Chains A and B, each alone.
Chain A
Amino acid sequence: MPCLNQGLTKASTFLCAFLAISACHAQDLINRENQLKAVYLMHFAELTRWPSHQQSNPEFTLCLLGHPPVLKFLKELSQKTIGTRRLTLASQQSISSTSSCQIIYFYNNQDLSQKFLSQFSETLLVGNHQEFITKGGHISFQVIDNKIKLLINLPKIRNANMDISSKLLRIANVIE
């Protein structure tokens, strides 16, 4: 029994070690994904042509709905400017408080009601699933084969008086 226990101990130790290593690897992948998403979000701000009236606003506000993991990386990038505009990160708990945002990142695939869409008609809506596009979102991150792909709903964006730079469109799947 003691041998069994020893064996079990060794096994449990190896398992614990294996689980610990696997857990560490999974965490790295998640961090990498969020890091990339953070960079994309910053580039969305740069590669989107915003309605002209927004150009006079000295601040560019990127809103994060909830507390998404990208926040940590976005904070690292918060010192950047979008053109001449200063980047401001806003982590909001509810949609109602995102009225001044230029980009809203929906981390948890919140529903996009018609009311919301009409309220934020000139705001770039970014989500994490393909359904987000079908629900009226503008850009969605998709993880395919451990690679982040973009799905862009270009008509919706253009309907919202915005446009996406072809630099971004080149690497994205575009819904025309």
Chain B
Amino acid sequence: MFKYNLSIKNKLILVFAFTMLISLLLAGSIFFIQDVYSTKKSIIERISIQSKIISSNTAVAVYFNDVEALKELLESLQADKEIVTAEIIKNNSIIAHYTRPSQESMGFKWVLQLVMEPTKEVFQPIIYRGQTIAQLKTVTDFPTLHNHVFNHFLVSSIVLFSSFLIGFGIASSLQKIFLNPIQHLLKATKKIAKDKKYDIRVTKISNDELGVLADHFNLMLEQIHKRDKNLEAEVAKRTEDLVTLNNTLNFRANHDILTHLANRELFNDHLNQTIAQAERSKTKFAVIFIDLDQFKLINDTMGHDFGDRILCHVATKLSACVRKEDTLARMGGDEFTVLLPIIKDAANATSFAQKILESFTFPIVEQQAEFHIKPSIGISLYPEDGRQADILQKNADTAMYAAKTEGGNCYRFFSSQMSEKVHKRLTLEGELHNAIKNNELLLHYQPQLLQDGSFAAFEALIRWHHPQKGMIAPYEFIPVAEETGQINHIGDWVIEEVCRQLSEWRALGYELAPVHINISPAQIKPGLAEHIHQTVASYQLSPDLIGCEITENAFAKNLDKLKSFLQQLHTHGFPLAVDDFGTGYSSLSYLKAFPITCLKIDRSFIMDISASKEDASLVKGIINLAHSLKLSVVAEGVESHQHLDFLTAHGCQMIQGYYYSRPLPANKACHWLKMRQQSSNSA
């Protein structure tokens, strides 16, 4: 851990100082050992020389056994502190002996004992007249060497310590040469890390590796600086994009994408704010609900894209009617709401509604065609019609429904009675949904007979047997089904049920007669003709057994789509009839252009045929027209003999009405058919 915490400066100093210390220690040790051995050698040589001198001087004394002289001579060794003892041995006996007086040692004996023997004995023969007469034994314990070693150690220590200090000082000075560039780098790095500024550059101090490092460091900074700038630009761009996206998302969160009007959320927000404001200031405001009449028909016939473009025109019209402080919102589909936050009384709302209606008097032009779009407007007022946002909206909606049920293209203020009607309708809508699931729908079959009274075909008429309310007529629930789209399920069910019934009758052995079904314009969509064909084929029935009746109103819109549908049915072999003929579209050219085989005169003409000459003329005209176009004619609603006579007299081929039979449940229709067959057989 220590080595990691040290700065490079201190590491360099320590490395330098310790390198020098170790070098000095090594060199000092070598010199020390060499000095010890050379000193020891010189001591031993000196003692040997001294021994020779002593032996020479003592030769005579030994020879003459002059012990006193010997002692005296040996005493002279006191001058040499190296010799600890000296003995003259003659004939294995010590005849003279010298012992050095005790002296203080420097205490380095133990150090020397590690590298050499503690004492050294030197033997020198004493020769007199050519003969060795004795031995001089001198023993040294190297006291001088001890002192020498001590002094050497002392001096070495001082030199070593001094050298270490000098080395430390030199290292401290020299490290600047290495560290200054590094310090510059470090300083620059710290500054960059602190300020996040990559335009700082390191000063190049030397041309060595650190200089190269500084160059590369600067190059790296340059690249980072460039990348940083690019990144900043990128971040700025992305931030701008994000702001734009955020604004877009915010706009989308609060606005309708198609019309760019406020959406439901923003409208509710404004409505709540207005309620709060109105509560404080005790003022009034109005919530206006606008729904376009029959707009679904445009969508269904012209397509949704076209419908969207019409909606944009509508939004433009409405925008032109609102004030700056008003909130205009599209709630979805063809529903728009307007919040009039400041009104004095209902008259202000009335003025606004009339202004809207007036703006819609001018047709909307799209794709060089004019479309007369009409709005139904419902108005609820604060605080009379509610103090809460949802209630005010619901009531405006209710008022709008009231306007719509009264024919549309008008405005209505909310009243409590309206609420009940709307409630009924909404209940019916929910129950109809359940009716399909619960098999509460059923088909009644009304026969069509030829002029001679022979059976020609059935028309399948839908009924709803409500578990509580009893039988509900189609005019009550079919419009609801068409508005809510449930007509598709009902239509599919009808064709399936008719096929199933025919299949059943065939199984029972009855001679099958054609059954006509009614197809709502709201049902027509790509693939329907194919679906009908496949359903009929799945029961192995011939397509000419299923007659398809289309109301005349269907020919008013999206003729291409209708033509394509009818053409497909015709191709598959289904007979085609125009229902309620005379009540709708005035142009008769479609009778030639479309593969129609039959016209059905609406019951409204037949009912007054006896009393109204106009109706009689009209019926005659229709019959003649059918004849001229080689179309068969069916008269609906024939209830009396007069009706029958008139129609027969004018060449109407087929009769349908209560005169012969009301619509019958399947079993009764079967029975009726059976009876007819039996009677015809008996006749």
Q: Does A166 contact B (CB under 8 A)?
A: yes
Q: Does B69 contact A (CB under 8 A)?
A: yes
Interface string of A135-176 (1 = CB under 8 A from B): 000000000000000000010000000011111011000100
CB distance from A55 to the nearest CB of B (A): 13
Q: In the bound complex, what is the Cα–Cα distance between A170 and B60 (angstroms)? A: 6
Q: Does A86 contact B (CB under 8 A)?
A: no
The dominant DSSP class at the B interface is helix
Q: In the bound complex, what is the Cα–Cα distance between A174 and B65 (angstroms)? A: 14
Q: In the bound complex, what is the Cα–Cα distance between A174 and B68 (angstroms)? A: 19
**Residues on the B chain within 8 Å of A164, using CB:** 64
> Who on chain B is nearest to A49 by CB?
B68
Q: In the bound complex, what is the Cα–Cα distance between A154 and B60 (angstroms)? A: 13
CB distance from B56 to the nearest CB of A (A): 10
Q: In the bound complex, what is the Cα–Cα distance between A88 and B69 (angstroms)? A: 26
Q: How large is the interface on B (under 10, 10 to 19, 20 to 34, 35 or more residues)?
A: under 10
Q: In the bound complex, what is the Cα–Cα distance between A35 and B64 (angstroms)? A: 28
**Residues on the A chain within 8 Å of B66, using CB:** 163, 165-166, 169
**Residues on the B chain within 8 Å of A174, using CB:** 64
Contact between chains at A169 and B68 (CB < 8 Å): no
CB distance from A136 to the nearest CB of B (A): 21
Q: Does B61 contact A (CB under 8 A)?
A: yes
CB distance from A54 to the nearest CB of B (A): 16
B58-83 residues with Cβ-Cβ distance < 8 A to A are: 60-61, 63-64, 66, 68-69
CB distance from B166 to the nearest CB of A (A): 59
Contact between chains at B69 and A154 (CB < 8 Å): no
**Residues on the A chain within 8 Å of B69, using CB:** 165-167
> Who on chain A is nearest to B66 by CB?
A166
Q: In the bound complex, what is the Cα–Cα distance between A49 and B67 (angstroms)? A: 11
CB distance from A158 to the nearest CB of B (A): 10
Q: How many residues of A contact B (CB 8 A)?
A: 10
Q: In the bound complex, what is the Cα–Cα distance between A174 and B61 (angstroms)? A: 13
Q: In the bound complex, what is the Cα–Cα distance between A165 and B60 (angstroms)? A: 9
Q: In the bound complex, what is the Cα–Cα distance between A122 and B434 (angstroms)? A: 173
Q: In the bound complex, what is the Cα–Cα distance between A49 and B68 (angstroms)? A: 9
CB distance from A166 to the nearest CB of B (A): 4
CB distance from B265 to the nearest CB of A (A): 141
CB distance from A171 to the nearest CB of B (A): 9
CB distance from B95 to the nearest CB of A (A): 12
B66-114 residues with Cβ-Cβ distance < 8 A to A are: 66, 68-69
Q: In the bound complex, what is the Cα–Cα distance between A167 and B62 (angstroms)? A: 11
**Residues on the A chain within 8 Å of B60, using CB:** 166-167, 169-170
Q: In the bound complex, what is the Cα–Cα distance between A24 and B498 (angstroms)? A: 196
**Residues on the A chain within 8 Å of B68, using CB:** 49, 165
> Who on chain A is nearest to B63 by CB?
A166
Q: In the bound complex, what is the Cα–Cα distance between A167 and B69 (angstroms)? A: 7
CB distance from B20 to the nearest CB of A (A): 60
Q: Which of B63, B64, B68 has the most CB of A within 10 A?
A: B64
Interface string of B371-414 (1 = CB under 8 A from A): 00000000000000000000000000000000000000000000
> Who on chain B is nearest to A174 by CB?
B64
Q: In the bound complex, what is the Cα–Cα distance between A164 and B61 (angstroms)? A: 10
Q: In the bound complex, what is the Cα–Cα distance between A164 and B66 (angstroms)? A: 8
**Residues on the B chain within 8 Å of A163, using CB:** 66
B34-72 residues with Cβ-Cβ distance < 8 A to A are: 60-61, 63-64, 66, 68-69
Q: In the bound complex, what is the Cα–Cα distance between A69 and B33 (angstroms)? A: 66
CB distance from A90 to the nearest CB of B (A): 27
Q: In the bound complex, what is the Cα–Cα distance between A5 and B64 (angstroms)? A: 67
**Residues on the B chain within 8 Å of A170, using CB:** 60
CB distance from A161 to the nearest CB of B (A): 15
CB distance from A73 to the nearest CB of B (A): 27
> Who on chain B is nearest to A154 by CB?
B64
> Who on chain A is nearest to B57 by CB?
A170
CB distance from B87 to the nearest CB of A (A): 18
> Who on chain B is nearest to A163 by CB?
B66
> Who on chain A is nearest to B61 by CB?
A166
> Who on chain B is nearest to A167 by CB?
B69
Q: Which of A49, A164, A167 has the most CB of B within 10 A?
A: A167
CB distance from A160 to the nearest CB of B (A): 16
Q: In the bound complex, what is the Cα–Cα distance between A166 and B64 (angstroms)? A: 7
Q: In the bound complex, what is the Cα–Cα distance between A167 and B63 (angstroms)? A: 12
> Who on chain B is nearest to A47 by CB?
B69
**Residues on the B chain within 8 Å of A169, using CB:** 60, 64, 66
Q: In the bound complex, what is the Cα–Cα distance between A164 and B64 (angstroms)? A: 9
CB distance from A50 to the nearest CB of B (A): 12
**Residues on the A chain within 8 Å of B63, using CB:** 166
Q: In the bound complex, what is the Cα–Cα distance between A169 and B64 (angstroms)? A: 8
Q: In the bound complex, what is the Cα–Cα distance between A165 and B68 (angstroms)? A: 8
CB distance from B70 to the nearest CB of A (A): 8
CB distance from B128 to the nearest CB of A (A): 10
Q: Which of A49, A166, A167, A169 has the most CB of B within 10 A?
A: A166
Interface string of B638-650 (1 = CB under 8 A from A): 0000000000000
**Residues on the B chain within 8 Å of A154, using CB:** 64
Q: In the bound complex, what is the Cα–Cα distance between A167 and B64 (angstroms)? A: 10
Q: In the bound complex, what is the Cα–Cα distance between A169 and B129 (angstroms)? A: 14
Q: In the bound complex, what is the Cα–Cα distance between A18 and B66 (angstroms)? A: 50
Q: In the bound complex, what is the Cα–Cα distance between A165 and B63 (angstroms)? A: 11
CB distance from B44 to the nearest CB of A (A): 28
Q: Which of A154, A163, A174 has the most CB of B within 10 A?
A: A163
> Which A residues are closer than 8 A to B by beta carbons?
49, 154, 163-167, 169-170, 174
Q: Pull 7 A–B residue pairs with CB atoms less than 8 Å apart, ordered by A.
A: A163-B66, A165-B66, A166-B63, A166-B69, A169-B64, A170-B60, A174-B64
- Knowing that A49-B68, A166-B64, A169-B66 touch, tell me 7 more A-B residue pairs with CB under 8 angstroms: A164-B64, A165-B61, A165-B66, A165-B69, A166-B63, A167-B60, A167-B69
Q: Which 10 A-B pairs have the closest CB atoms?
A: A166-B61, A166-B66, A166-B60, A170-B60, A166-B69, A166-B64, A169-B64, A165-B69, A169-B60, A165-B66
